[in-house]
Chain A
Amino acid sequence: MKNPEEIFNILKEKFGDAIIEFASSQPVDPFITVKPNEIDKICRFLFDNDELLFDSLMNLSGVDDANGKKAAGQNGDNIIEGGTLSVYYHLESTKFKHKLVLKTSAPRENPEVNSVESIWRHADWHEREAYDLFGIIFLNHPDLRRILMPYDWEAGHPLRKDYKNPEFYHGMKVPY
């Protein structure tokens, strides 16, 4: 059973630049930040390695970091420019019982992250949800479409911090 510090060292040796930092100062879970276009290689390594054997993805969540600049948008509402959207991965090994948290950040204007669906089929629906609610595009995902919102929802991605509800949807008034 390894703790996150040891796993960070193993990953840093293998992947070098792709691993950005190890954050353990804040409560509770320490996490490892990696580059978004290398995430699938790193996860494949974590999945296959005999000592680590992370065969179970517990959770995959999108987060709007809201660390950009507030600006005025076209209709006078607040939008955020710059900043990042992040994806957090919670991994676990059912054999060794150790856990790990990974984080990648992609720029808000072009949020592209490699998909890990080929490693854990579990990620399929979670990535669709992150795309639906945040707009994060997962490259190499077999079927990236909206899952919780209606398929033809064009007003944006609801869970972003600068999202505003549209007036009408198919003739129905949205704000009540």
Chain B
Amino acid sequence: MALKTEQMILNMGPQHPATHGVLRLELELEGEIIQSVQPHIGYLHRCFEKHAEAMTYPQVIPYVDRMDYLASMYNEFGYVIGVEKLLGIQVPERVEYIRVIMGELQRIASHLVAIGTYGMDIGAFTPFLYCFRDREKILSLFEMTCGARLLYNYFWVGGLSHDLHPDFVRSAKEFVKYFRPNIKELNDLLTNNRIFIDRTANVGVLPLETAINYGITGPNLRGSGFKWDLRKDDPYSIYNKFDFDIPTGQGLVGTVGDCWDRYYVRIQEMEQSLRIIEQALDQLPDGDVTSAIPKRVKPPIGQVYSRVENPKGELGYFIISDGSVNPFRIKVRGPSFVHLGVMNEICKGHMVADVIAILGSIDIVLGEVDR
């Protein structure tokens, strides 16, 4: 009697230690090899876009924070730039500098979470705690400025809610000095670790053509070797005043576009963010951060698509205004939503353990996927 084999459907269910939130992955397995991956999302859908239609423009900002809750400053950045374009107002220079500093600190914090949880998924428990220890210092800087550690409501339409604390510049410079050697320590623990390289090199290779066609942006696209960064290719705010490099994946230990490349791009980006923060802190001008905030935000009829380089990719806001104080339609193009769509393509032919490695290297946040 011949043995019958059939494909097994394994559910990495909504509750799982490694799926970065409530995500359901339906894996079709042939033994340990994956035939297809179907993500099922919507567990964290909070109807942000419908809520936004009932509120005024400034009231939307705390909701916007809660989408990618690990990089809240950047969510606000994108939205606020869009509304300011519609209104046609120009913010003071001090506001621009502070926005850049906060945004880059937020980028470092978000990448620390990505790297820490990625190490933990692969099995190295210790770098996770080192990353969070460093992230605590960034969160204290944020708390010093606006009182909140995770969800800030700091960027307002036309300016900021509070000016910087008098101690902020000194503390931020101390942080930059403290954090630089820690990147080297992370490299020793994870990046150059033989076992880590075995788990991530040549796994989940994302070819460049596929990446652009699927709309992949951010560190994932740069990991495939394409030098595309919105801060240089479509500059917003005052990023064209700073001098920084765009790291790309070069296949140093495997193929170009594998998980190790995407991970290493994030490590290098943290270094570049430190450079931007240093330059911004040195050039910080004086001014009043609340001077350009309008009394009533009532944009003219029109629409705008504003995009920023979120730590996870290109975050886009498509805002349609019908002339009233409530937005008519806000559509958020979240990078995590787009990146999750490519999972099926790059997971084929790998093993179950690799799905975790690939999912961690794509770095999604379910708040942004589901909105």
Contact = CB atoms under 8 A, between A and B. Distances in A.
Interface of A: 26-29, 31, 55-59, 61-64, 88, 90, 94, 97, 101, 120-122, 124-125, 133, 146-150, 158-159
B228 interface: yes
A61 B316 CA distance: 11
A122 B316 contact: no
B226 to A, nearest CB: 8
Contact of A26 (B47, B213, B303): B303
B343 to A, nearest CB: 11
Interface stretch (B71-79, B113-121, B330-338): B330-338
Contacts of B215: 56-58, 120-122
Contact of B42 (A28, A121, A147): A147
B305 A159 contact: no
Interface in B196-245: 210, 212-215, 226, 228, 233-234
Contact of B333 (A26, A28, A59, A148): A59
Nearest to A146: B42
B29 to A, nearest CB: 21
Given A27-B88, A124-B341, A58 B41 contact: no
Nearest to B317: A59
Nearest to B215: A122
B214 A55 contact: no
B42 A149 contact: yes
A28 B86 contact: yes
Nearest to B228: A94
A59 B331 CA distance: 9
A122 B234 contact: no
Contacts of A150: 42
Nearest to A132: B42
B85 A28 contact: yes
A61 B318 contact: yes
Contacts of A29: 303-305
A122 B303 contact: no
A64 B302 CA distance: 15
Contacts of A31: 303
Between B299, B316, B331, the greatest number of chain A beta carbons within 10 A of the residue's beta carbon is seen for: B331
B341 A122 contact: yes
A122 B331 CA distance: 16
Between B316, B318, B371, the greatest number of chain A beta carbons within 10 A of the residue's beta carbon is seen for: B318
B306 to A, nearest CB: 9
B348 interface: no
Contacts of A159: 49-50
Contact of B41 (A55, A88, A122, A147): A147
A149 B228 CA distance: 33
A60 B312 CA distance: 19
B305 A55 contact: no
24 contacts: A26-B302, A27-B88, A28-B303, A58-B215, A58-B314, A58-B316, A59-B316, A61-B329, A61-B331, A62-B331, A63-B329, A63-B331, A88-B303, A94-B226, A120-B213, A120-B214, A121-B210, A121-B214, A122-B214, A146-B42, A148-B42, A148-B45, A148-B370, A148-B371
A158 B338 CA distance: 21
Given A26-B300, A90-B305, A148 B41 contact: yes
Between B213, B215, B302, B371, the greatest number of chain A beta carbons within 10 A of the residue's beta carbon is seen for: B215
A28 B213 contact: no
Contacts of B233: 97
Contacts of A94: 212, 226, 228
Contacts of B49: 133, 159
A27 B85 contact: yes
Nearest to A125: B341
Given A56-B215, A63-B320, A149-B42, A125 B304 contact: no
Contacts of B212: 55-56, 94
B307 interface: yes
B329 A121 contact: no
Interface string B59-86: 0000000000000000000000000011
